[in-house]
Structure 1
Amino acid sequence: MTDFAPRHLGPDDDAVARMLEVVGYPSLDAMVDAVVPESIRRREPLALTPVPDESAALARVRALADRNTVVTSLIGGGYYGTVTPNVILRNVLENPAWYTAYTPYQPEISQGRLEALLNFQTMVAELTGLDLANASLLDEATAAAEAMTLARRRSKVAGATFFVDAECHPQVIEVVETRAEPLGIKVVAGDPHTDLGAHEVFGVLLAYPGTHGGVADHRATAAAAKEAGAVVCATADLLALTLLTPPGEWGADVVVGSAQRFGVPMGYGGPHAGFMAVSDDLKRSLPGRLVGVSVDAQGDRALRLALQTREQHIRREKATSNICTAQVLLAVMAAMYATYHGPDGLRAIADRVQRLTAAARGALVANGFRTTADTFFDTVTLRVPGDADRIVAAALAEGLNLRRVSADEVGFSLDETTTPEVVVRLLAAFGIAATVDELDLGAPSGLPAALRRTGDVLTHPTFHRYHSETEMMRYLRRLADMDLALDRTMIPLGSCTMKLNAAAEMIPITWPEFAHLHPFAPADQAAGYRQLVDELEAALVEITGYDAVSFQPNAGSQGELAGLLAIRAYHRDRGDTSREVCLIPDSAHGTNAASAVMAGMRVVVVGTDDHGNVDMDDLRAKVDEHGDRVAAVMVTYPSTHGVFEEGIVELCRIVHDAGGQVYVDGANLNALVGLARPGDFGADVSHLNLHKTFCIPHGGGGPGVGPVAVRSHLAPYLPGHRLFPTHPDSGAPGPNGGVGAVSAAPFGSAVILPIPWMYVTMMGDRLQRATELAILSANYVAARLSPHYPVLYTGSHGLVAHECILDLRPIEKATGITNEDVAKRLIDHGFHAPTMSFPVPGTLMVEPTESESLAELDRFCDAMIEIKGEIDRVGAGEWPADDNPLVNAPHTAPVVGGDDWDHPYPRSLAGWPGGRPGHDGVEWKYWPPVGRIDGGYGDRNLVCSCPPVEDLAE
């Protein structure tokens, strides 16, 4: 029997005793009592009974998986069967070197995933025919909404109307409408070729191909729209674009879509990598992350995030998007799928899909069926007056799911997994008897001759080299070896909770019963998913003290937006339409303010005091000033400064007395589980970062899940979804009402929900122990480092919550050494840096989590203390301020091993700080692949796709 909790929790009882001695408390209970205010402390244990044995928990989730029915899906509509090459499945999706990595904000130790993302950007840019693409967005629907707001910013048309092609997928149209309404944007859906001229629009979204299968020629429409001043956007299918003229060639300024069918399973809706590509003149309006090419300290080529990175933290309520994450792990998979198959392989897959579709359509037309369009790539919609239900049932009897468009229309979409035998079964559902040999695989193509792609695509050598499994395996290993992820070292990032992603938690996500379901499959085929969702919801309700949870938001930022939209809808439903002020402390996470603006609210900033707490006097003054215009307050608890604020109950009372709602950002829930519940101490709504507190991997910057949890009065306003009815067996509100969809799939990134389900199931009420050890670990680090680096904020007993902020500003003032210098020197020690300059410039925020052992905590503290010793030598004048181990860090192997060395410190200190490891230490040395990167150079000389071959030759 393998008891999970001791495997998840780093410090054992002996380590806890030693840590408590350093912190200065006789017991863990005594320390927690001193940290957590009594006014919010929950004394009852969590009503969660653990299934401690990993095998037993896996057997339980296996039983849930068995309740799902995997039926061959021909539903389409943006989700398709695909084959994940095993070399990518094993070496990326199932490889902790990839799934435990953090967002590449420290580029020197992220070159592998940055190269993979650059491949993704290059792939998308070339296939869409545009100048550059970002490093992925959350899904196709939210990418379309981002395209709408980009168009609004850049168009000079005075009106506020956005035209959407009715041939866009229904979920795309719904999310666009959800996002448009609070911004005062009017969305008109129709036929762009006949209806667009009747409207003055700032932007148009064209479908290519359409959801019902047609491949429209948009050239004249795009030209007319641009002539009228509109920004032309398009949704596109990457596989179809291997055969179709790219939208950038027929006039699109922005192209969005999903890379799901490039090797990423449907997963009942996600996660999948959305994409956005833009023309060069829109590059500085591009939302999300962008990988660019720069140089390092030695002048060698190096990659980094460019331009838009974390703009929310800089521009806050003036940010143009609240997106602060991506779908990196899935973008890497899609990019590697394209790399592995190459342009010829992708075209072969697309051509096979097209030929099978043509064969199926030809047989149907020959037997008297009428289609809704004469053109097609992989999708055909048929007119079957009054007969749709019978045909759908007949297809199900053949083991196929068709798309029921209406009582009079059915559709099917073929994909990479479709075989001729599947086509024969499809025809049988329509009453047509055929054999594989009778299929006409030479039937005329459904692609218009004028829109056939010409010229080469994916020309970079990367897409031509790695077609054997040997080469691909080595390429993936080489990229992974460039990076530091959680599989190598502690990642002590404050605010981002880089917890263990246990193997037992990860195992179920690749099971076919979870991985291969279409999000719009009949509800009875997903009974296991719904039971898992219901059980996870019940656990989160118990943990948070709320009453209902929606899992639809597929990132924390989208959970924020959904929560604020619920508050807005609640006020409007009560007639309080003037409530539009959102109070936000100046210490808040940058997405808070950006989300509030996107929800149609006006941000009013509340100050913080010298201790990092919300300034209660300023809060009262702002509430008095804005009165019945106050809609909500957004606070992070424990605070962004890493402190349990004593005044949180009073804060909730003040805002409630003014008629507002309290939004508690759940980013720091890892310090609350089992000890306090937001729903008990006054909060009305929170988003929960499942990729933080509940162990979903960060994946190099995504996937994430940001479910929104609410009190009962806000439950009717949770996100809805037109394509999914309320589940009849669930007592909680179904995902069909509320404020409209906030992501493409009804349950967001559903395939990774088994991960937090496994974590909660195996931990049960021992989740409280995890919280206590997270708090203890942070206070242990603070106690060890406070003699060397001032700890900026503490609570009333001199203790921190689950993270601590180290103040390097006095050090910089005295020596010139910055927090960035310390961060880069930590790389020489084999560590990822803590969070830099958030929430306070010039600081480092450390969060060790409960999963790190005392030995690893000590290794980190020892490295930080040794670095402080080096800073002191700079301060004493022993080393020049402009030539010392810190400002030159990180040191690469070529630098340390090179023939030239003219620095005033020895090579051994540069490359092996702390001495070469022996038998009692860590017996490996991480060498960063590049030196310190020149970020300014990368922004001034923006290159965001794979460099040309001639540049590589240079």
Structure 2
Amino acid sequence: MPTRATPLAELENPSEFIARHIGITPDDEARMLAAVGSFSRQELVAGIVPRSIARSTPMQLPPAVSEAAALAELRAIAEQNRVFKSFIGQGYHGTLTPGVILRNILENPAWYTAYTPYQAEISQGRMEALVNFQTMVTDLTGMAIANASMLDEATAAAEAMTLAKRSVRSKSNRFLVAADCHPQTIEVVRTRAEPMGIAVVVGDIAALLQDGDCFGVLAQYPATDGTVHDLRALVATAHAKDAAFCVAADLLALTLLTPPGEWDADIVVGTTQRFGMPMGNGGPHAAYMACRDAFKRSLPGRLVGVSIDAEGQPAYRLALQTREQHIRREKATSNICTAQVLPAVIASMYAVYHGPDGLRRIAERTARLSAILARGLAQMGLEITSATGFDTLTVRTGDATNAILDRAQRGHANLRAIAEGCLSVALDETTTREDVVSLWTWFAGDAAAVPAFAAFEDADTRIPAALRRSSVFMEHPVFNTHRSETSMLRYIRALSDKDLALDRSMIPLGSCTMKLNATSEMIPITWPGFAHIHPFAPRDQLQGYATLERQLCDWLSQATGYAGISLQPNAGSQGEYAGLLAIRAWHKARGDAQRDVCLIPSSAHGTNPASAQMVGLRVVVTACDAQGNVDMADLAAKCEQHADKLACVMITYPSTHGVFETQVKDLCALVHRHGGRVYVDGANMNALVGVAAPGEFGGDVSHLNLHKTFCIPHGGGGPGVGPVCVVEDLVPYLPGHDTAGLDHGGVGAVSAAPLGNAAVLPISWMYCRMMGADGLTQATETAILSANYISARLKDHFPTLYASANGHVAHECILDLRGIAKTSGVTAEDVAKRLIDYGFHAPTLSFPVAGTLMVEPTESETLDELDRFIDAMMAIRAEIAQIENGTWPQDDNPLKHAPHTAARLLQPEWTRPYPRELGAFALPALRRAKYWPPVARIDNVYGDRNLFCSCVPVVDYAQA
């Protein structure tokens, strides 16, 4: 009898990706369930997630499709975008990403799957790249110190305003902004200023400075219309009023222009987008902030500094105010806890690749083409509004404006209508001679009237002689060495080899969700249809992005239970901020502007109180009980005490302690009865998707971290996306964007671009499309199972601090090491450093409870990897026992000396009480595959006392 052929439907497996994303097989699952004492995954989850909040209906998402099908569908969406040549400028320019950087950084998981460098010893490569970034910025701006990147130019300008406010002697409440700053920057500054009670005055700076006092000034250099203003006299006037002078400066222009630091500016901000990062419909791009030395201890964001390790060798580490918002909470000066590390690395490598001479050549060519364009337009009888400029010029076009715009668009190009009867044209490194001739043709309307290009080839730049740069920059060898691609390739590889990222091993960080960033999800971000789009291009050219936004918002609404979503916030902290602005605007619209109290449990993420402070809310802390849950009695008392002023409560769910609190619906109802709204921090959404929805169980607002739950990579500490999600009556108060023509109900732009970090949204779209409702739910359930498996396997070695009544945790568990510290002197940090010897990034250290490690395995890890981590932790516990029984001294043992470098282990003299082999190969498997840390344990105190944040020669900081 012939064998029956397998049905075709069984050979077509559209959900194959689910099994590739989720690391646990059915056989693995059975073993894990036995370890945790559950019959099935569903039974386990049912016993953990309170039945009162469990979803009654599944998410309505399209069925999962294969990787190939999803890519084909997304490519069709990308092709709905129309990629025109952009001459819009306005802070976004065409750029050429060197292939060696594109392939080996932007598309390389060794770089994009890395985590924020809080564990410095395993982050030396990306931190060296960030020190290069900081050095590049300080050299080009002429300032004393720069941070490791900001979210975008507009939010950097807003941070400059608040930095100025807290750093100068002036008691004025006025912040002056030049009218010729980029309009999106003015808009974001206004959004940020209003809840803080800062009066933003926009106009002519010279006139405004004569009109009264201020605490700060912001000017654009060059201005948005291309003019290069001489701001030196204005700086002196501002300083006479005890005010800070802030400058938004174009870094490429600063290769030719006198840098602001040389004319005594106080703070300089801007974007590094044109240093190799595609426009991407607005992001992600690394902004920068540099300031004078006196302001360095108030500088927001991250700062990479140089210290020494335990062997006296130089080493990099995060310096000064690292995670300030978690330490200072409502007294924090900024809520930023992410940066744009991956784009910053690309910008720094662009500078390494080109060097100072190459950057100057690119700038000189761009400026020369702009001057040639201006000469030709003038010969054609058109008026250029300014005699000065770098890459941008503005032309008076009068009644011909629309006709010129139309001719350009028919030529697949976009110009900028900057004012009535005026068009602006911005050139960049992608501009060609043919582009200049095309521009002349569009302005003339008659090809016969176009002058010959050769007639103007000797045109000098339009940079004023008094402002031409004479100082050198980027003299450090790193910017003057790697000229061949071989050398560049090896430098990039050498740095990545120093680091431990997700491509090497599990990164078990609690609250940070380091899950798989699948290659198929990453592929579309460099497609031209997504990468080469200007955020302020005409909307009819952005239909693909409109489709992507609509579909992704629909799917996220299904996951969260909310009615409306904005994808504009370009970090989780910005999503928090936007959500609180929505609550504040809603109260204000109802005549309840007096409602300004925000209740926050003591266990909350530090960004919560920092965000509340930024929107003008008063933080009142509520207690937690012994199990880490919100103390409902204390919450009720605080609601009653502040009933007429209660604006909202902010909670994290599942809690920061990794537990599903059973009274969350009661909590929401209690706050609602007192007229407040409920903000549910979406940091732990990885434990909710498919099993519970905050918009259904009582939440009014949440932000999501797409760089966590929805698979956008961490990139070494950014980029991120922090969508804000709201219930129906708060939808009108989602952030708008006047510059992009998007209406709003009183909440202006929170990011420079209307769709924020738009270019990485395809990653989350692909994840949702390939997983479908069933796959997303399975991912959540598997994450919960994996966390409980680790907790159960380690309970006799490191007890879990918080658990539900049945002993289970959510998607993460907090391992309690406080007792060990008393018996052995070993701290949680010692265990974290010893894990490096075992080839692991440490779990989250001492958060939310000092002396603990918070572990989150995610659904993407295999059982083999989970067991490898468990074996390492058990082996470390056995080492601690050796200290407890007196075999090793408390100050001389493998944990206190961890991590062990190869250089130290190979030294002829070895005097420690344990064998070298134990430092190197604590488990047999390490002999087959070993990560060698490039530096020993780093001295943080030394680094803060001897602060170096740029590429300083070794001899200089060795003598500090």
State whether structure 2 residue 43 is matched by structure 1 residue 27: no
Unaligned runs of 5+ in 2: 1-11
- CA contact 2:560–2:693 (8 Å) conserved in 1: yes
- SS of 1:605's equivalent in the other structure is strand
Alpha-carbon separation, structure 2, partners of 1:578 and 1:886: 54
Alpha-carbon separation, structure 2, partners of 1:556 and 1:573: 26
State whether structure 2 residue 946 is matched by structure 1 residue 933: no
Which of 347, 350, 358 aligns to 1:337? It is 350
* Alignment of structure 1 residues 190-269 onto 2, 5 Å: 190-269=203-282
Alpha-carbon separation, structure 2, partners of 1:799 and 1:464: 56
- SS of 1:620's equivalent in the other structure is helix
- CA contact 1:908–1:915 (8 Å) conserved in 2: no
- SS of 1:627's equivalent in the other structure is coil
Which of 878, 881, 884 aligns to 1:869? It is 878
State whether structure 2 residue 786 is matched by structure 1 residue 777: yes
Alpha-carbon separation, structure 2, partners of 1:333 and 1:806: 37
* Alignment of structure 1 residues 549-568 onto 2, 5 Å: 549-568=565-584
Which of 737, 746, 749 aligns to 1:741? It is 749
- CA contact 2:732–2:744 (8 Å) conserved in 1: no
Q: Which amino acid aligns with 2:288?
A: F
State whether structure 2 residue 650 is matched by structure 1 residue 645: no
The 1:917/1:114 distance shift into structure 2, 3 A limit, reads closer
* Alignment of structure 1 residues 323-402 onto 2, 5 Å: 323-402=336-415
Residue 919 of structure 2 corresponds to 910
- 1:193, CA displacement in angstroms? 2.2
- 1:385, CA displacement in angstroms? 1.8
- 1:898, CA displacement in angstroms? 1.2
- SS of 1:172's equivalent in the other structure is helix
State whether structure 2 residue 904 is matched by structure 1 residue 892: no
User: After the TM superposition, which of the residue ranges 297-306 and 399-408 deviates more from structure 2?
Assistant: 399-408
State whether structure 2 residue 949 is matched by structure 1 residue 944: yes
Residue 471 of structure 1 corresponds to 487
State whether structure 2 residue 562 is matched by structure 1 residue 546: yes
Alpha-carbon separation, structure 2, partners of 1:16 and 1:459: 57
* Alignment of structure 1 residues 6-85 onto 2, 5 Å: 6-85=19-98
Alpha-carbon separation, structure 1, partners of 2:865 and 2:924: 17
- 1:29, CA displacement in angstroms? 1.1
Q: Percent identity?
A: 62
- CA contact 1:5–1:52 (8 Å) conserved in 2: no
Q: Which amino acid aligns with 2:592?
A: D
- SS of 1:859's equivalent in the other structure is helix
Alpha-carbon separation, structure 2, partners of 1:177 and 1:738: 11
Residue 763 of structure 1 corresponds to 771
The 1:738/1:506 distance shift into structure 2, 3 A limit, reads farther
Which of 789, 793, 802 aligns to 2:811? It is 802
- 1:952, CA displacement in angstroms? 8.3
Q: Which amino acid aligns with 2:252?
A: L
Alpha-carbon separation, structure 1, partners of 2:916 and 2:382: 77
- 1:468, CA displacement in angstroms? 1.1
- SS of 1:235's equivalent in the other structure is strand
- SS of 1:35's equivalent in the other structure is coil
- CA contact 2:339–2:717 (8 Å) conserved in 1: yes
Alpha-carbon separation, structure 2, partners of 1:702 and 1:916: 33
* Alignment of structure 1 residues 517-916 onto 2, 5 Å: 517-726=533-742, 736-765=744-773, 766-915=775-924
- 1:55, CA displacement in angstroms? 0.2
Q: Which amino acid aligns with 1:882?
A: D
User: After the TM superposition, which of the residue ranges 703-712 and 382-391 deviates more from structure 2?
Assistant: 382-391
Alpha-carbon separation, structure 2, partners of 1:354 and 1:226: 32
Alpha-carbon separation, structure 2, partners of 1:917 and 1:678: 43
- SS of 1:901's equivalent in the other structure is coil
Residue 132 of structure 2 corresponds to 119
Q: Which amino acid aligns with 1:666?
A: G
- 1:389, CA displacement in angstroms? 1.7
Alpha-carbon separation, structure 1, partners of 2:355 and 2:683: 40
The 1:439/1:142 distance shift into structure 2, 3 A limit, reads farther
RMSD: 1.1
Alpha-carbon separation, structure 2, partners of 1:140 and 1:180: 16
- SS of 1:483's equivalent in the other structure is coil
1:626-662 deviations in Å (ceiling 9; x for gaps): 1110000000000000000001000100100000000
Which of 390, 403, 406 aligns to 2:419? It is 406
1:646-695 deviations in Å (ceiling 9; x for gaps): 01000100100000000000000000000000010000010000000000
1:594-617 deviations in Å (ceiling 9; x for gaps): 000001100000110000100000
The 1:284/1:953 distance shift into structure 2, 3 A limit, reads closer
Alpha-carbon separation, structure 1, partners of 2:433 and 2:410: 18
- CA contact 2:437–2:453 (8 Å) conserved in 1: no
1:577-624 deviations in Å (ceiling 9; x for gaps): 110000000100000000000011000001100001000000001011
- SS of 1:505's equivalent in the other structure is helix
- CA contact 2:705–2:721 (8 Å) conserved in 1: yes
Alpha-carbon separation, structure 1, partners of 2:464 and 2:818: 64
- SS of 2:650's equivalent in the other structure is strand
State whether structure 2 residue 425 is matched by structure 1 residue 416: no
Q: Which amino acid aligns with 1:23?
A: V
1:78-99 deviations in Å (ceiling 9; x for gaps): 0000000000000000000000
Q: Which amino acid aligns with 1:938?
A: G
- 1:4, CA displacement in angstroms? 0.7
- SS of 1:193's equivalent in the other structure is helix
- CA contact 1:649–1:682 (8 Å) conserved in 2: yes
- 1:746, CA displacement in angstroms? 0.1
- 1:947, CA displacement in angstroms? 1.0
1:856-892 deviations in Å (ceiling 9; x for gaps): 0000000000000000110100000000000000000
The 1:436/1:262 distance shift into structure 2, 3 A limit, reads farther
Alpha-carbon separation, structure 2, partners of 1:830 and 1:441: 59
1:457-483 deviations in Å (ceiling 9; x for gaps): 101000000121101100000000000
* Alignment of structure 1 residues 139-154 onto 2, 5 Å: 139-154=152-167
Which of 274, 298, 323 aligns to 1:310? It is 323
Q: Which amino acid aligns with 2:501?
A: A
TM-score (norm 2): 0.97
- 1:156, CA displacement in angstroms? 1.3
Alpha-carbon separation, structure 1, partners of 2:767 and 2:942: 44
Alpha-carbon separation, structure 1, partners of 2:458 and 2:90: 26
Runs of 4 or more consecutive aligned structure 1 residues displaced over 4 Å after TM superposition: 735-738
- CA contact 2:838–2:926 (8 Å) conserved in 1: no
Q: Which amino acid aligns with 2:158?
A: A
The 1:191/1:786 distance shift into structure 2, 3 A limit, reads same
- 1:736, CA displacement in angstroms? 4.8
Alpha-carbon separation, structure 2, partners of 1:345 and 1:582: 52
- CA contact 1:909–1:915 (8 Å) conserved in 2: no
Q: Which amino acid aligns with 2:949?
A: C
- SS of 2:642's equivalent in the other structure is helix
Alpha-carbon separation, structure 1, partners of 2:555 and 2:315: 45
Unaligned runs of 5+ in 1: 727-734
- CA contact 1:400–1:426 (8 Å) conserved in 2: no
Q: Which amino acid aligns with 1:753?
A: L
State whether structure 2 residue 188 is matched by structure 1 residue 183: no
- CA contact 1:213–1:377 (8 Å) conserved in 2: yes
- 1:455, CA displacement in angstroms? 2.3
TM-score (norm 1): 0.98
